[in-house]
Amino acid sequence: MLFFPVELAIALTGIVHFCNNLFKLLLVGRNADKDVLIRFGVPAVISAILGSWLLLYFSDHRPLFSYDAFGKTIAVYPVKLIISILLIAFASLDLIPYFSKLQFNKNKLPLGGCLSGFFGGLSGNQGALRSAFLIRAGLSKESFIATAVVVSTFVDFTRLSIYATRFSASGLERNLTLVICATVSAIIGAYLGNKLLKKVTLRFLQITIAIMLILISIALGSGLI
């Protein structure tokens, strides 16, 4: 978001995420729970269509308001403000202990699929909600991971299909090299992280990333970026 329009940043990130999910799908996809995929995954895919469409819809809107600061006029656009609020909300899930323990009953799977897919399409953030609902689905560790990967892959494919209607206009074709480099780097980073960063706790990473997301979100929502 520091270098691209919000909708393009989400789309580019989605491609990298999708490619990584395809790799993980090959590794663990066979362990996915079919019943949960239907009850959670189908609503997620359908809702992702709506979320993706709303992202493109709001990206066409004029600024909500503008103000003068730092010697220039700063405009605040609807899509930036919406994504800013969502990023702050999802980042807060990792900072507030109550939300890290939040879980839902298995009969709420369709609702969880709708929420996860919708926000995945709108902002790219679906992992926190997906995990909160799937964790109580009675799945084994292997099945939980595999089911989450399959759902995430299909949601990514769905939202990227919607984004693709605007890719040419947004300049995706000029950034294919960036996407390829980011994808390769993500795979290498995952491998090195597994080998070298075992002393760094997951909680430390969650808090660090959450704080950085909130800072970027504030700058995004205020029109500074």
**Phi-psi category of 138—alpha, beta or left, where left has phi over 0 and alpha has psi -120 to 50?**
left
| H-only helix segments in 60-175 | 78-95, 97-100, 109-123, 127-134, 141-163, 167-170
Question: Would you state the pLDDT for residue 169?
Answer: 55
Question: Would you state the pLDDT for residue 6?
Answer: 75
**Rounded Cα distance, 48 and 44, in Å:** 6
Contact indicator for 115, 129 with CB cutoff of 8 Å: yes
Question: Would you state the pLDDT for residue 115?
Answer: 87
215: its two tokens: 């800072």
100: its two tokens: 């890290």
173-199: burial string, b at 16+ Cβ within 10 Å, e else: eebeeebeebbeeeeeeeeeeeeeeee
Counting runs of H as helices and runs of E as strands, what totals does the chain give? Answer: 11, 2
Per-residue pLDDT of the chain (225 residues; tens, 9 = 90+): 778 877 788 888 888 888 888 887 887 788 888 999 999 999 999 999 998 898 888 877 787 778 787 778 887 777 778 778 877 877 777 677 776 666 666 788 898 899 889 988 887 777 767 877 787 777 787 788 888 889 999 998 998 888 887 766 556 678 888 888 998 888 787 677 666 655 666 567 667 777 887 887 787 777 777
Query: 0.75 exceeded by the pTM?
Result: no
